[in-house]
Structure 1
Amino acid sequence: MAPIDGGLVLAKTLQGFGIDTIFTLHGGHLDSVLRAADSLGIRLIDTRHEQAAGLAAMGLAHATGKVGVALVTAGGGVTNVVSAAANALADGVPLVILGGAPPLNDVDALPANSGIDQLAVMAGVTKHSLRITHISLLAELVGRAFRIAKEGRPGPVYLDLPSDVLFDQIEEADVVFPNGAMRVAPAAPSRSAVLEVLSLLRGASRPVILAGGGVVRSGASNLLVEFVERTGIPVLTNNKSRGVIPTTSPLWGRGFSALGAAKARGHGEADVVVLLGARVGIYTGGRHNSVIPTSARVIQVDVEPEEMGRLHDVHLGITSDCREMLSALLDADDATWPDYSNWAASLTSPSERKRNAGSEADGVLTPGLVGAALASCLPADTVLVADGGETPSWLDAAATSDTAGQWFGHGYLGIMGEGMPLAIGAQIAYPDKRVVVWVGDGAVGFNFAEFDTMVRHNLPIVVVVNNDRQWTMSAHGQELLWGSTPRLAVDLRDTRYDIAASGFGAHAEYVEKLDELAPALERALASGMPACVNVATSAIEIAPVTRRFMRDAAQADSSVASSSAALTDSPSTSR
């Protein structure tokens, strides 16, 4: 066999793990990989920013459960992908991030795109990071990166790839390519643990399941639906698990905060809480305002034993894959269940869902009205990507999700601007589905140039901009703290995002009245092009999510200063 370079070794290894798409932005350090990937038929989606490449890879991984791959160049390319890596780490999304690096033989010589320790930069935002120092190690260590990214709690893995390793050559016969089909058997619960869970749930008066991303990652949605339909136990979800049970089900009760709302309406507290692949933190109310009652017996199921008991004592912790847990519960269940229908109804009240959707105020076009109208006029299987501070909550209040992977929302890191890149990954994963982004005018500015990426790669994503000319959650937070003045660093211009998007070649629509929205969306969807629908709104209503965050902040600390600090700790309150 003829010798091959490191780029081809890498590309063939990626192909062996089923990778058919790489998200990237060009840099000279990467040319051998780009040429090799192209020669093997691997699709290259080149974005306008490395952050977008990492987030798009994350979008594909979230949609498919496969490992997403981002390839970035040395120096600024690596530092630009840090937010995407941190996002994936916080939310347990499997990524392999390949970073170009200066040649090993130029160490300490300050060559192009150098001056920092890239491994040190990436170590704190990844599950594992490693520098590959010789071409003979390349295939083996890339294979190891995939296994680390995927197994246990998934997450991002970073590989530092010096350019002299990538351009070096080796006899192909000397390369041992890893077996991309290998998979580690998932952790399963013991028989005694399964029987104890069934006993605790059957003996409860108000049981509830808090389903998290672990349900999605294990492919357990169908088993969860079967289990709750058999038992009548209601399910609450978060942004990463929305759709694991259809949102039209009478057993779905929206977000974890529904526990607190039910108590406030006088329906009592949950007495047994199952944390099924869900982490305890901001989505459960944090340290001081947890929606999980202190008196409740908590059952926690997670692939990572280190997660057990975070912020709340656990009655029974079970290290298990969620699918294995649900399968074991279904197999062992052989008795009748109590009637939980009244309790389930208190968590899933249709009137509460309608209340959260917003209302019309003197003919003003509000984000709540737009979110509800948007949800009502899109195809049922539309993949929805929500980005911004208050903006996502208005769509979440009205939209339906029949399956997991149909909703993309903020996670623990809560970064703004992830919507358009996530949508790129989702559209690659679902080429036959419509992908629609609902984004605030603040958040859309971060990665606006990705309209260019969408146009060049023929990705017919529709971006609907909630243009209320401000960082709305921040503005409303200041209003709740200090009144209407002063407004500090929260105002934006009335920008014509539609015109700017058309400059990249996208279809453009501008909407000022509610009755213009549906026709504009219809034209945008029918265009078969990337599209920007710029909707001029007035955020006169403060979203319930903002009031809740501010109330929690105030309860955590009675001082205004501490309340402000607590506000910025939430995953989507910074803007």
Structure 2
Amino acid sequence: MPLVDGGQALVAVLKRFDVDTIFTLHGGHLDCVYQAAVAGGIRLVDHRHEQAAGIAATGYARATGRVGVAMVTAGGGVTNVVTAVANAYADCVASVFIGGAPPLRDYDALPVNSGYDQLSVMSGITKWACRVTHVERLPDLVGRAFHIAREGRPGPVYLDLPSDVLYAIFEEGDAVYPGGPINVSRLAPSSAAVGAVLDMLRRAERPVILAGGGVAYSNGGALLSRFAELSGIPVATNNKSRGTLSTDHPLWVRGFGALGAAAARGAGVPDVVLMLGARLGLYTGGRRKSVIPADAKIIQVDISAEEIGRVRDVELGVVSDCREMLGALIAQAGNGPWPERGAWVSELRGDNVLKPPQPSPTDGLTPGLLALTLAGVVPDDAILVLDGGETPAWFDGVAASLGPGRWLGHGYMGVMGEGLPLAIGAQAAHPDKRVICLSGDGALGFNFAEFDTMARHNLPIVVVVNNDQQWGMSAHGQDLVYGPGKRIVSDLAATRYDLAAAGFGAHAEYVASFDHLGPALKRALAANRPACVNVMTKPVMNPITPRFMGLAAEGLRSPDGKARVPYADILEV
């Protein structure tokens, strides 16, 4: 039997799981893996910060539906990737994170890149965290990591690889190698549950579907479209599911906030809500200000039983893969007619509501005008990445999403600075598509050196900067709560990000007037290399900020003297 080291064994297993790209930052603990990866034809995308490597792996996963892989070195490398791991955990992104570690034999001797228990750090933010203690076990444990990451509710796993295990040599026949992904049947609903769901939906006067990440991760977009068309039920999507129902579809009513907006203008409110792979929490309005009416009946479909009933009771919970549920609904939906619901759909869409005027150059170069102009030049099949507090909200209302996996925005953690690495992951996965990242100037600074990664790896990502010289949501939030002139640590300089990006080898554009914006965007798209379009915008508050601030936007004290908590809807204490 041939002799192999742990690095060669690891790469052999990665290839069995069709891994073609690893996102990483060099560490000597991992050199044997790098050598084996190059020899085995696996692409290595090396970053300038471990956080960026981890987020890029999740961007790859979200853009492909496959498992993303990131590898970081021991000590600070592992702590640097914690944010990416936690973000993947919160948003259920299938990913395998591999961390180098000091030798087991020196565990308590304070060797290089040591001083804490890496496994303890990772155990609370992963589906599974494991330390490989014998090199012969490495192949089967890597296989287990991939299985856990992708099955059931997806999420991150972590493997800790001590260097004396990883560099050890063993006979290949002494290990059990997995054959690749296990063919696991998807969890399907019972016929009785499907019948109950259909009965509630047919009887409803104003039903709505809230499609979440469970639809996207199960590749259920086509079935969602078919069921919506069959039943005539309107569909709202969130950041993770946007594009599963094309944004030009007549039954798409925008985001979950459409329910609250309809209620605010006196339109109808839903009486039955079908939640497909969506979670009750932040994106449905929180505990106290839910966009779902208190008397609405909720049907919640989720792959994870413990998710059902979070925050509030539901009328019917169904533990099922969303694609299996949609297929079953379609199969049984022909047993009887569906009510005509055109008027309800129109109410939710706000067809008869006077639309606000489009941003105009007469108002100056505002973030809204930047978003509208950018939306007008992006290719239909582009992958759009959004980063920042207010900046994504400007783009959300004007941009199209014609397919799944093409809209990568913030999740529950709201991690600022994930835009550039998400874009790298998406571009590495789809070299044939244009990837465009719109970022606020504050968010851009976290991982700015990733322009270097883009340039070295020939990733022609176009980065458009909404440079309003502030942490927009923070600055405007302070203005709302404390009044003008009392901003603290929320203003930024008029930084020339274009010049800094050019230093890394990017095509650079500086835009200070609307007349220059369109031509600059077109030149950046045509450059066929990384590009930075630095757009100096007029600071304007987006309507999303007062909604995030909650009652605190009207004052920090209630009429009866209670304290109002910012960023917590209507919480008074």
Verify same fold: TM over 0.5: yes
Report if aligned partners of 2:289, 2:569 keep a CA contact under 8 Å in 1.
no
What is the letter of the counterpart of residue 161 of structure 1? L
Q: CA deviation at 1:93?
A: 0.2
Secondary structure of 2:508's match? strand
- RMSD of aligned Cα (Å): 1.7
Match of 2:565 in 1: 563
| 1:486-506 Cα deviation digits (max 9, x unpaired) | 011100010000000000000
CA distance in 2, matches of 1:162, 1:267: 60
Does the 8 Å CA contact 1:441/1:467 hold for their aligned counterparts? yes
Taking the aligned partners of 1:180 and 1:162, their CA distance within structure 2 comes to: 24
* 1:40 to partner: Cα distance: 0.2
Q: Helix, strand or coil: the match of 1:425?
A: helix
- Determine the structure 2 residue equivalent to 1:344: 345
Paired with 1:297 and 1:145, the residues of 2 have a C-alpha distance of 38
2:458 and 2:102 map into 1 onto residues whose CA distance is 34
Residue 518 of structure 1, CA deviation:
1.5
Q: Secondary structure at the match of 2:484?
A: coil
Corresponding residue for residue 500 of structure 2: 500
- The residue type paired with residue 96 of structure 1 is V
Q: Does 1:471 align with 2:432?
A: no
Would the aligned equivalents of 1:89 and 1:156 in 2 still touch at CA under 8 Å?
yes
Counterpart CA distance in 2 for 1:200 and 1:568 is 31
Shift of the 462–64 alpha-carbon distance from structure 1 to 2, 3 Å rule, reads: same
Q: Distance in 1 between matches of 2:453 and 2:570?
A: 32
Retained in 2: the 8 A contact 1:243–1:405? Answer: yes
**Identical columns (%):** 60
Offset, 1:564: 2.4
Look up the equivalent residue of 1:197 and give its one-letter code. Answer: V
Q: C-alpha separation between the residues in 2 aligned to 1:562 and 1:51?
A: 34
SS in 1 for 2:310: coil
The structural deviation recorded for 1:200 is 0.4
Structure 2 Cα separation of the partners of residues 460 and 451 of structure 1: 10
The whole-number CA distance in structure 2 between the counterparts of 1:43 and 1:474 is 39
Which range moved further: 340-349 or 459-468? Answer: 340-349
Q: Match of 1:299, as an amino acid?
A: I
- SS of equivalent residue, structure 2 residue 228: helix
Q: Against the structure 1 CA distance between its residues 9 and 455, is the aligned structure 2 distance closer, same or farther, given a 3 Å change threshold? A: same
Hey, what's the Cα distance between the residues in 1 that align with 2:420 and 2:2?
A: 43
Q: Quick one: distance in 2 between partners of 1:106 and 1:352?
A: 69
CA contact (8 A) 2:546 2:553 kept: no
- In 1, Cα distance between equivalents of 2:565 and 2:358: 26
Q: CA deviation at 1:350?
A: 5.3
1:243 and 2:238 matched: no
1:366 matches 2:350: no
Cα displacement (A) at 1:183 = 2.8
Superposition deviation, residue 348 in structure 1: 1.6
Q: CA deviation at 1:23?
A: 0.3
Counterpart Cα distance in 1 of 2:354 and 2:319: 34
Q: How does 1:8-23 map to 2 (within 5 A)?
A: 8-23=8-23
In structure 2, what is the equivalent of residue 55 of structure 1?
55
Q: Hey, what does 2:548 align to over in structure 1? A: 549
Structure 2 alignment gaps of length 5 or more: none
Give matches, 1:246-325, under 5 Å.
246-325=246-325
Indicate conservation of the 8 Å contact 1:243/1:406, yes or no. Answer: yes
Matched, 1:202 2:202: yes
The answer to whether the 8 Å contact 1:75/1:113 transfers is yes
Task: Find the counterpart in structure 2 of residue 326 from structure 1.
Answer: 326
Residue in 2 that maps onto 1:118 = 118
**Aligned AA (1:242):** R
Which aligned pairs between 1:192-231 and structure 2 lie closer than 5 A? 192-231=192-231
Q: Deviations over 1:475-517 (max 9, x none)?
A: 1111111211201110001000000000000000011112211
**TM-score, structure 1 length as denominator?**
0.96
Matches for 1:52-131 after TM superposition, within 5 Å: 52-131=52-131
Q: Cα gap change, 1:447/1:330 in structure 2, threshold over 3 Å: closer, same or farther?
A: same
Contact 2:195 2:332 in 1 (8 A): yes
8 Å CA contact 2:564, 2:570 repeated in 1: no
Deviations 1:520-549 (A, max 9, x none): 111111111100000000123x21211211
Query: Match of 1:425, as an amino acid?
Result: G
Once the two structures are TM-superposed, the CA of residue 462 in structure 1 deviates from its matched residue by 0.4
Residue 573 of structure 1 corresponds to which residue in structure 2? none
Looking at structure 1, the residues matched to 468 and 570 of structure 2 have their Cα atoms a distance apart, in angstroms, of 21
1:557 is displaced (CA, Å) by: 8.3
CA distance in 2, matches of 1:314, 1:203: 17
Q: Hey, what's the Cα distance between the residues in 1 that align with 2:193 and 2:57?
A: 37
Task: Report Cα offsets for 1:416-450 as digits up to 9, x if no partner.
Answer: 00000000000011110000000000000000000
Residue 272 of structure 1 and its aligned partner are, at CA, apart by 0.2
Other-structure match for 2:180: 180
Residue 405 of structure 1: aligned partner: 405
TM-superposed deviation, 1:353: 10
Q: How many residues align?
A: 567
Provide the secondary structure at the position in 2 that maps to 1:510: strand
TM-score (norm 2): 0.96
Amino acid of the structure 2 residue aligned with 1:566: A
